Structure 1
Amino acid sequence: MARHKPAAEGGYQRGEETRARIVEAAIAVFGERGYEGASTRDIANAAGVNAPALQYYFDGKEGVYLECVEHLITLMWRMMGDTVEAAERALADENTNDQALIEAALGMLSAVVSTIQDSTRATALRAFLDRHQAGLCPESASMAFEERFKRRVGTVIRLLIARLSGLAVDDERTIIHSMALFTQGLAFRVQKPKLLEALKWTEINQKEMELVRGVVLTQARFTLEGLVRERDLRIG
């Protein structure tokens, strides 16, 4: 983990403000140019600081990137934390009915789809996350994101699918269904330019996002209800 230093000349508060400004700038630069393509000078210029400041606060480029990932993890849990915890509570009770489990899964998917909504900050974060998930980053950063976000979310989705389908958690079909469910939301982020072109939209604001989310959740509901019906036919 990168060091956490306040600015010597400005005290702790000024140091925290500088760190935050560097992280915001680095997310945009890494998102645009990738980890290999971004230089510490690029990031420093975007943040309005001198290049040695990145070494001072973060021990260099990898330290800055790791701090960007920490920031991203915090934002992702802020966005999805409530829905993940609600799903975990539903799973903890073996008497939770199918409809409640379906709603828990849809709640998580709804949070994912909401990330397609436009804002300057969201666009930079999406670009950073897309490059990160493509593996264009240090291994240490991939491990941090996996251990502190993806693993827990993936486990919850898999457990929901297993309960609804009656399949084992490690069944290949459970894994495939889980990935298919989650990527329904991610697909619209990746394919956003094509979506805008097809619908002749210039951006995705609240209204457009709600329309996309409604369609995605309707299709996902049909899929989940279908898994329940297949399970009941199989065991009935």
Structure 2
Amino acid sequence: MMKNKTSTQTPKQDRGDVTREKLLTSSIDVFGRYGFDGASTRMLAETAGVNLQAIPYYFGGKEGLYIAAAEHLASVIVGHVGDLRIAILERLARLDGEGKAMSPEEARDLLTQMAQRMVAIFVSRQSESWARFIIREQMEPTEAFERVYANVMGPMIGMAGRLVATILDEPPQSEHVRLKTLSFVGSILVFRMAHAAMLRQMSWQAVGPDELDTLRRHVAELVAALGGKKEGQR
């Protein structure tokens, strides 16, 4: 009897997971395009291709779906960079435990890997809907921004900051390191946030393998430039 019960429940559970996934994935795009107020529950349900009652059933309402979409977005981004982030954090933790410092050369190599992974994600078509969602939250932050920042942006900027601090041989929490880190991250984000301007400026129709290789080399040059002569020096 237990076997029969499981066999009848599993498909229902699978259907529920598919419905939730459809709503989460499509709502990121809808909320990004129209904002929370402009996106009606009917629009959200129709875009996902699900029943209107699925929103209150799975998320309690539009607000619950909005927060869940932010968390889903964070988890998707982490899925693209999680392995590298874990490797870097484990390396830093190991060195901290041994009382050793990371060399500037290793920090540059890890920051280059991190930045090249980021630029590849940011120029992908998939990230278009992510950018719309996050830009809206940057302009008028809500609880959704807190979820994305806490799970993705904050940890990534913090990790980049430790690498930048090592390269500059300065304390990670210094104002200079934090500003330098934000400027560096911004120089990567621009390839998504100003994607159309980038294509126009570079006379590219799209970002294919050759264009991506060019951007990877450019990112490596940005990392190499860190720690050069300070402003005002000759």
Q: TM-score, normalised by structure 2?
A: 0.83
The 3 A distance-change label for structure 1 pair 206 and 62 is farther
Q: Residue 135 of structure 1: CA displacement?
A: 4.1
With 121-130 and 141-150 compared, the bigger mean Cα shift is at: 121-130
Structure 1, unmatched stretches of 5+, are 1-7, 231-236
Q: Secondary structure at the match of 2:226?
A: helix
The answer for the alignment partner of 2:59 in structure 1 is: 58
Distance 1:123 1:145, change over 3 A: closer
The answer to whether residue 181 in structure 2 is matched with residue 175 in structure 1 is no
Distance (Å, rounded) in 2 between the aligned partners of 1:115 and 1:77: 11
**C-alpha spacing 1:53/1:124, structure 2 compared with 1 (3 Å):** same
* Equivalent residue, structure 1, for 2:148: 145
Alignment correspondent of 1:105: 111
Measured after TM superposition, the shift of residue 98 of structure 1 is 1.4
Q: Distance in 2 between matches of 1:36 and 1:105?
A: 39
User: Aligned residue for 2:191?
Assistant: 188
Return the letter of the residue paired with 1:98: P
Deviations 1:173-199 (A, max 9, x none): 011111111111101111111111122
Paired residues for 1:1-236 under 5 Å: 11-92=12-93, 93=95, 94-119=100-125, 121-132=126-137, 134-136=138-140, 139-224=142-227, 226=228
Cα distance, 1:28 vs. partner? 1.5
2:3 corresponds in structure 1 to none
Distance 2:177 2:41 in 1: 43
Q: 1-side partners of 2:156 and 2:39: how far apart?
A: 30
- Report the 3-state secondary structure (helix = DSSP H, G, I; strand = E; otherwise coil) of the residue aligned with 2:184: helix
Distance (Å, rounded) in 1 between the aligned partners of 2:149 and 2:129: 21
Distance in 2, matches of 1:209 and 1:34, equals: 31
Q: Which amino acid aligns with 1:39?
A: S
**CA displacement at 1:152 relative to structure 2:** 1.8
What displacement does 1:70 show? 1.8
Separation in structure 1 between the aligned mates of residue 192 and residue 203 of structure 2, nearest angstrom? 16
- Kindly provide the amino acid, as one letter, of the partner of residue 195 in structure 2: K
Tell me the CA shift for residue 73 of structure 1.
Answer: 1.4
Segments of structure 2 that go 5 or more residues without pairing to the other structure are: 1-8
What root-mean-square deviation, in Å, do the aligned CA atoms of Structure 1 and Structure 2 show? 2.1
In the superposition, relative to structure 1, how do residues 125 and 142 fare at CA in structure 2: closer, same or farther (>3 Å)? closer
State the alpha-carbon separation in 2 of the partners of residues 172 and 156 from structure 1. Answer: 16
Amino acid aligned to 1:131:
R
Deviation, structure 1 residue 63: 1.2
SS of equivalent to 2:191: helix
Instruction: Provide the rounded CA distance (Å) in 2 between the counterparts of 1:172 and 1:63.
Output: 37
Q: Quick check: 1:87–1:105 contact (8 Å CA) kept in 2?
A: no
SS at match of 2:171: coil
Q: What's the CA shift for 1:17?
A: 0.8
| Number of residue pairs matched by the alignment | 216
Q: Distance in 2 between matches of 1:88 and 1:14?
A: 37
Residues 86 and 104 of structure 1 are in contact (CA less than 8 Å); yes or no, is this contact kept in structure 2? no
* Contact 1:135 1:142 survives alignment (8 Å): no
Identity of aligned residues (%): 25
Task: Tell me, in whole angstroms, the C-alpha distance in 2 between the residues paired with 1:146 and 1:60.
Answer: 23
